[in-house]
Amino acid sequence: RRQFLNDPDDVVAEALEGFARAHSDLVRWNRDPSYVIRADHGAHGSKVGLVSGGGSGHEPLHTGFVGRGMLDAAVPGQVFTSPTALQVAAATQAVDTGAGVVQIVKNYTGDVLNFRIAAEIAQDEGARVQQVLVDDDLATDPQLTGNPDGPGRRGTAAVVAVEKVCGAAAEAGADVVEVAALGRRVASSARSLAVALEAPAHPGRDRPSFDLGEHEVEFGVGIHGERGVGRRPFAPAAELLPQLTAPLVESLGLRRGDAALVIVNGLGSTHPLQLSLAYREVTRLLDGLGITTARSLLGSYVTALDMTGCSVTLVRLDDDLLRLWDAPVRTAALTW
Amino acid sequence: RRQFLNDPDDVVAEALEGFARAHSDLVRWNRDPSYVIRADHGAHGSKVGLVSGGGSGHEPLHTGFVGRGMLDAAVPGQVFTSPTALQVAAATQAVDTGAGVVQIVKNYTGDVLNFRIAAEIAQDEGARVQQVLVDDDLATDPQLTGNPDGPGRRGTAAVVAVEKVCGAAAEAGADVVEVAALGRRVASSARSLAVALEAPAHPGRDRPSFDLGEHEVEFGVGIHGERGVGRRPFAPAAELLPQLTAPLVESLGLRRGDAALVIVNGLGSTHPLQLSLAYREVTRLLDGLGITTARSLLGSYVTALDMTGCSVTLVRLDDDLLRLWDAPVRTAALTW
Amino acid sequence: AVMDVDRARNWWEGFAREVEERSEELTELDRISGDGDFGTNLRSAVRKARARLEAGQPRTVGEVFTAVSLGFLDTGGTSGPLFGMFFREFAKACEGLPVVGSDVLARGALEGVRTVQRLGGAQVGDKTAVDAMAPAAEALQRAVDAGAEVTAAMGAAYRAAADGARSTTAMRARRGRASYVGEVARGVVDPGALAVAWFYERGATAA
Amino acid sequence: AVMDVDRARNWWEGFAREVEERSEELTELDRISGDGDFGTNLRSAVRKARARLEAGQPRTVGEVFTAVSLGFLDTGGTSGPLFGMFFREFAKACEGLPVVGSDVLARGALEGVRTVQRLGGAQVGDKTAVDAMAPAAEALQRAVDAGAEVTAAMGAAYRAAADGARSTTAMRARRGRASYVGEVARGVVDPGALAVAWFYERGATAA
Ligand SMILES: Nc1ncnc2c1ncn2[C@@H]1O[C@H](COP(=O)(O)OP(=O)(O)O)[C@@H](O)[C@H]1O
Ligand SMILES: Nc1ncnc2c1ncn2[C@@H]1O[C@H](COP(=O)(O)OP(=O)(O)O)[C@@H](O)[C@H]1O
Ligand SMILES: [Mg+2]
Ligand SMILES: [Mg+2]
Ligand SMILES: [Mg+2]
Ligand SMILES: [Mg+2]
C-alpha cells in the first residue's frame, strides 16, 4: 500500500512535527525526549497533571486529546511500540505542578513496564504519581480466553472516556487520589469489542498484517494489527454489530433503565457513513433492551493504522461520570 | 471490500439515522424529503439561512457541518448523486426565517441544476435565495485542461471554508446579499489539488473504482472516485506534497507575506499520522516561500468514500475572513 | 374538445405505461451515449409521479401536472430536474383552470422548453431532449394559431417531436454526458428526445 | 583491588563491544522464542549508553552506571526498561563513592534482580534474564562473604550466570513473548540470560 512517507523510521517524528504545527494553539512538541504537552501548561496554576501515551499508529489517540479538560501530556512511542521509560518520566515530571500526576496506561506489557518505571523515577524525584490501568477489551478477558495467568484484558477505546473523565476532574481541582479513583471507576465500568474487515499495513510495508478471506471478518481484534480471537462469517451490519454489543451488555450486567456511554469507534479506514450506520445498529439494540444511550461518541478516535473495522465500547454511567463527561474540553480531536 | 452494510440501497438513510441519533443535541433528520437541520432551528430569531448539500459519501461533509455558526441544513443525495430539487427546496424553505437563504453549491452539473431549480421553487414561494458556487479544484481549471466550454472547476474541500465563513457571517447578522458575497469571496480565493494513493469502492461493491499500478498515484482526482487528470510516479511525501501545493500558490498568486488558510484533507482512508506528515511538508514549503500559514485545518473533512489520499487547499485570507473563520462554531465535525 | 382532469390522467397513464415497458430501450441508448441510467431514472420518476397522483387525487389538469412535475423533481440525475421543470410549466399554464384548451397546452410547452434551455443551456442541435421539445412546442403553437383543438394540436406536436428525436441520430452531442464521448454517440438517437416524442404521442391518443 | 571509574568504563566497553559483535546471535535466539528484536534492542541500548558516557564524562562508578541505565531506559521493548532498572540499582549502590568494593557490587546485583523481579514478575525457572541474574547475585554475595575482592567475586558471579543461562535451554517460558510460543522455545537458550552472563564475564576480565 502506498502511503505519504519519507524515511519510514522518521514517520512518527515527522507526523508529530506536522501535528504540532497544525495545533500550535493547543500543544507544543518536545522533540527529545519526545512528548506532546499543553501549550498553556502551567499557565493556570496548580492542578493534578494527566499523562498518557503508548505506541503510535492509534491517532488521534493520545496526542489529539492534549488540551484543556483532558491530557496535559501525551507520550508517543514508535509505531505500535511503547514509549520508553525516560520519555514517560520526562513528561510526568514536566506536567507536575506539585499537585501530583495521574498516568493513564493501556494494559500492554511494554506500556505497563515503562510507565511503572517512569513512575518510580518521577517518584524518586519527589512527584506523587498514581496510575490508572485501562483494560476494557472483552476479547482478551481471562474468563473468555481461559488463560488466567495471561496479561489480562487489553486497553482499547475506553481510554478516551478515562482521559476525558480524569481530565475534567483534574480541571475541577480534584486531588491526585480522587482523579485516579475516578479513572479506575471508568475503566472498571467499561468493556469493548472490535471487529476488523481488513488488516492494516505498517508504514513502508506493502502487505497488510493479516489476510482475510472474502467472506470472513476478524473478530475480537486489538489495535496493533494482530489477529483477533477468531474468524467469523461476514454478515450484514444488523448481524455483526449485535455480535459486538450484546456481550458487552452481558459483561457489564447492564439492565433496563441503566445509562451508558456508547463509543462506536473507527479503527482507521472506516468511513463516517459506515460508522454512522454501525452506530444505528448498536443503539437500536440498546433501545430494545431498555438501556439508555445517555451519551455517545461516534468517530475514529483509537485507530490501528489503516485497519478497516470498528470497536464498540459501553461505559456504565452514573451522575458523577456524566457530569465529568459533559464538562468542557478543548483538544485537537475532542472539543465541546 | 467488506463494509458495514445492510441493503446497499439503504446505506444513506441508515447512516443518516445513526448520525442523527448520535448528534440529537445538534441536529434533527427530516426523513422525507431527506435533509438534516439544526435541532435549535428558529430558536434564535431571524437570521439568514444557510443550506448546502450534494451526493453522500463525502462525510463529514455536509451533515457534519450543521450547527451553530455554520449550516442550518444539509441535503444529502444518494452516494455520489446530487440530492433532488425537491429535497433542496424543502430544506431551503425550512431554514428560511424571512431573512433569506444562501445556498452553497459545489460545481457539479447535477448539483448546480437541482439547487438552481430548488432556488426557483423557493423563490416562487417568496424566499429570497442567493447561491454561492464553489469551484476550487485546480485540476479541472479550463486553463489547464484546455477545455473552455466544459463545466469548469469542480467544487471540493474549499466548501468547508465557504460554509464556515458564511455561517459566521449569518450568525453575526449579515444580510443575505452580504453572506453570499463573502462566500463568493472565499470561493474565488481558494484553490485545491488532490492525489489518490488508492481508489474507493462503492457500498456493496467489491472492486475499487479504478486500479493503480504499484508505483503510481492518481493525480488531480475529484471526490467521486473518478480518475484524475493523470498518473504520476509514486514518490516520497517530500516530493508528492509540493506537487499539490506549488500550483495552488501559483494559481492564487500568493507572495511572500501573504496569509493563507491551509486545509490538508484526507480523502477517506488516510490515517491521521499520514495527514500530519503531509501537513508538515505543505507548511514547510509555504514557510520557505514566506507565506504565512495563518490558520489551518488538518483532518478528513471532505472524503470520497474510502479513497486513500489527500487534498491540499489554500485560501487567501484577509482580516475579515480571518475573523469569520475564528468565530465560534459548534457542529459534529467542527467545534471551537 | 378540451382537456379535463380525466383526459390528463389518461394521457399520463399512457406515457407512464410506455416508459415502464420500454425503459430498457432507453437505458440501452444511454449506455452507448451516456452513463446508462436514463431508463431507470425515468421509470423511477414516473413511479413517483404515479404515487403522487394516487395520493393527491388531483381535481384539475394543473394538479395532474403538478403531481407529475414533483415526481420528476424528486428524482436525481440530469433528466429528473429538467423534465420536472418542463412539466412544471404545464402546471403553471393550467393553474386554476377546470379544463384547458390547446392554447393553454401550447403556452405550457413553449414555457417548458424555454425553462429547460435556460437551466440546461442546450440549443437545438446539441443532441438533447430539447431537439424534440422545441419543434414540438412550435408545432403546437402553429396548430393553435390555425385554430386546432387539443387532439389535432397534440398530433402536430407529436409529429414534430418524433422528427426532432430522429434528427438527433446524426448529431454529435454538445451537452449532457454524451458530450464526453464525442463521435461514439453519433448514429444513436438521444433517449431524452425519444421520451419527449412518446409524451406528445400519448397526448394525441389519450381520450 | 577495588573498582574505580576507569575500570568500570572498561568493563562497560567490553560488554558493549561483545553486544555489537554478537547482536545477530541474540536476535536469532529471540526470533525462535520471541519476536526477533532482542539483538537490535540491546545494541540500540548499548549505543545510547555509550553516547551518554561520552557526553557525560562520568567521574565515579555510580555515574557510569547511571549513564548506562539511562541508555537502556531510553530504549523500547521489554528488555530495555528491565535491564535499565537492573543497572539503576548498581548506580544507586555506588552513589557518592569514589571507588567501590565487591560488597557494593553485590548489593547492586541483589537489588537489581529484586527490582527486575518486582517489575517483570518472573521467577527463576521462567526462562528469562532472571535465570542468570539471580544465581549471579547470590554467588557474588557468597564470594563477598568469603572475603573475595572484585575480580574474584566477579568471576564467581560470571560462572553462576553462565550456568543459569545454560539452564534456560531446557525450560519452557512462562514470561515474556516466549511464553506465547510454548514448546517451540524449548531447546533454545534465553538470549536475555545469555547477555547477563556476558555482562559479568566482562566484569571479571576488565582491568
Ligand atoms: N443540458 C440538457 N438539456 C436538455 N436535456 C438534456 C441536457 N443534458 C442531458 N439532457 C437529456 O438527459 C438525458 C439523459 O438523462 P439522464 O441519464 O437522467 O442524465 P445523467 O447524464 O445525469 O445520467 C439525455 O438523453 C438528454 O436528452
Ligand atoms: N518478565 C521478565 N523478566 C525478566 N526478563 C524478561 C521478562 N520478559 C522478558 N525478559 C527478557 O527479555 C528478553 C527479550 O527482550 P526483548 O526482545 O527486548 O523484548 P520484547 O519481547 O518486548 O521484544 C528475553 O530474552 C528475556 O530474557
Ligand atoms: Mg444517464
Ligand atoms: Mg446518471
Ligand atoms: Mg523481542
Ligand atoms: Mg519486541
pLDDT tens, residue by residue, B135-177: 999 999 988 877 777 788 999 999 999 999 999 999 999 999 9
Give the distance (Å) from ligand 6 centre to CA of residue C181.
56
For residue C177, the model assigns a pLDDT of 61
Lowest mean pLDDT, pick from A205-219, B36-50, C135-149, D144-158: A205-219
Handedness of CA C37, C38, C43, C47 (dihedral sign): positive
Q: What average pLDDT score do residues C77-102 get?
A: 95
pLDDT in tens, C3-13: 999 999 999 99
Residue of B nearest to C85 (CA): B117
Give the distance (Å) from ligand 3 centre to CA of residue C77.
7
Residue of D nearest to A108 (CA): D78
Kindly tell me if the per-residue pLDDT of A219 is higher than 90. Answer: yes
Please state, in angstroms and rounded to a whole number, the distance separating the CA atoms of residues A224 and A56: 10
How distant is the Cα of C77 from the closest Cα of chain B, in angstroms? 6
For residue D179, the model assigns a pLDDT of 60
SS (H, E, C) chain C: CCECHHHHHHHHHHHHHHHHHHHHHHHHHHHHHCCCCHHHHHHHHHHHHHHHHHHHCCCCHHHHHHHHHHHHHCCCCCHHHHHHHHHHHHHHHHCCCCCECHHHHHHHHHHHHHHHHHHHCCCCCCCCCHHHHHHHHHHHHHHHHCCCCHHHHHHHHHHHHHHHHHHHHHCCCCCCHHHHCHHHHCCCCCHHHHHHHHHHHHHHHCC
SS (H, E, C) B57-126: CCCCCCHHHEEECCECEEEEEEECCCCCHHHHHHHHHHHCCCCCEEEEEECCHHHHHHHHHHHHHHHHCC
Give the distance (Å) from ligand 3 centre to CA of residue C180.
12
Kindly tell me if the per-residue pLDDT of A80 is higher than 70. Answer: yes
Nearest CA to ligand 1 atom 21: C177
* pLDDT range class, residue C34, cuts 50, 70, 90: confident
Angle, to 10 degrees, between the axis of helix C38-56 and the axis of helix C79-94?
30
pLDDT in tens, B56-75: 999 999 999 999 999 999 99
Nearest to A22 by CA among A331, A301, A336, A303: A331
For residue A164, the model assigns a pLDDT of 98
Of residues A177 and B109, more confidence is placed in: A177
- Does the beta carbon of A61 lie under 8 angstroms from any beta carbon of chain B? no
Q: What average pLDDT score do residues A123-137 get?
A: 96
- Does the beta carbon of B303 lie under 8 angstroms from any beta carbon of chain A? yes
| H-state helical runs in B203-298 | 237-252, 272-289
Percent of chain A with pLDDT over 70: 100
* Contact criterion met (CB < 8 Å) for B21 and A283: yes
Q: What average pLDDT score do residues C18-25 get?
A: 95
For residue C179, the model assigns a pLDDT of 59
Q: What average pLDDT score do residues A4-22 get?
A: 96
Q: What average pLDDT score do residues B20-28 get?
A: 98
Which positions in chain A touch D81 (Cβ < 8 Å)?
Answer: 84-85, 113-114, 117
- Does the beta carbon of A210 lie under 8 angstroms from any beta carbon of chain B? no
pLDDT in tens, C113-129: 999 999 998 999 999 99
Percent of chain A with pLDDT over 90: 85
How distant is the Cα of B148 from the closest Cα of chain A, in angstroms? 34
Give the distance (Å) from ligand 6 centre to CA of residue B277.
25
* Contact criterion met (CB < 8 Å) for B273 and A305: yes
Give the distance (Å) from ligand 5 centre to CA of residue D126.
16
Kindly tell me if the per-residue pLDDT of C180 is higher than 60. Answer: no
pLDDT in tens, B175-225: 999 999 999 999 999 999 999 999 998 887 778 878 888 899 999 999 988
Report, as ranges of residue numbers, the positions in chain D whose pLDDT lies below 70: 175-182
Please state, in angstroms and rounded to a whole number, the distance separating the CA atoms of residues B281 and A5: 10
Q: What average pLDDT score do residues C165-182 get?
A: 76
Nearest CA to ligand 1 atom 2: C120
pLDDT in tens, A26-66: 999 999 999 999 999 988 789 999 999 999 999 999 999 99
Q: What average pLDDT score do residues C15-29 get?
A: 95
- This model of the complex carries an ipTM of 0.87
* pLDDT range class, residue C81, cuts 50, 70, 90: very high
* Contact criterion met (CB < 8 Å) for A22 and B296: yes
Establish whether chain B is in contact with chain C, requiring a minimum of 3 CB pairs below 8 angstroms: yes
Best substitution site from C23, C31, C33, C82 to test ligand 1's pocket, by max atoms within 8 Å of Cβ? C82
For residue B150, the model assigns a pLDDT of 74
For residue D106, the model assigns a pLDDT of 98
Question: In the annotation, is B58 catalytic?
Answer: yes
For residue D180, the model assigns a pLDDT of 54
Nearest to B22 among A23, A60, A276 (CB): A276
Residue A80 CA to its chain's centroid (Å): 13
Which positions in chain C touch B9 (Cβ < 8 Å)?
Answer: none
Nearest CA to ligand 1 atom 7: C176
SS (H, E, C) chain A: CCCCCCCHHHHHHHHHHHHHHHCCCCEEEECCCCEEEECCCCCCCCCCEEEEEEEECCCCCCHHHECECCECEEEEEEECCCCCHHHHHHHHHHHCCCCCEEEEEECCHHHHHHHHHHHHHHHHCCCCEEEEEECCEHHHCHHHHCCCCCCCCCCCCHHHHHHHHHHHHHHCCCCHHHHHHHHHHHHHCEEEEEEEEECCCCCCCCCCCCCCCCCEEEECCCCCCCCCCEEEECCCHHHHHHHHHHHHHHHHCCCCCCEEEEEEEECECCCHHHHHHHHHHHHHHHHHHCCEEEEEEEECCCCCCCEEEEEEEEEECCHHHHHHHHCCCECCCCEC
Q: What average pLDDT score do residues A113-134 get?
A: 95
CB A163 within 8 A of CB A71: yes
* Contact criterion met (CB < 8 Å) for D84 and A85: yes
Q: Is any atom of ligand 1 closer than 6 Å to the C-beta of C26? A: no
Nearest to B280 among A21, A236, A335 (CB): A21
For residue D173, the model assigns a pLDDT of 76
What does DSSP say about strands B190-198 and B101-106: parallel, antiparallel, or unpaired?
unpaired
H or E segment and range at residue D86: helix D79-94
- Find cell 539503576 and name the residue: D88
Q: What average pLDDT score do residues A8-17 get?
A: 95
- Does the beta carbon of B152 lie under 8 angstroms from any beta carbon of chain C? no
Please state, in angstroms and rounded to a whole number, the distance separating the CA atoms of residues C188 and C168: 8
* pLDDT range class, residue A206, cuts 50, 70, 90: confident
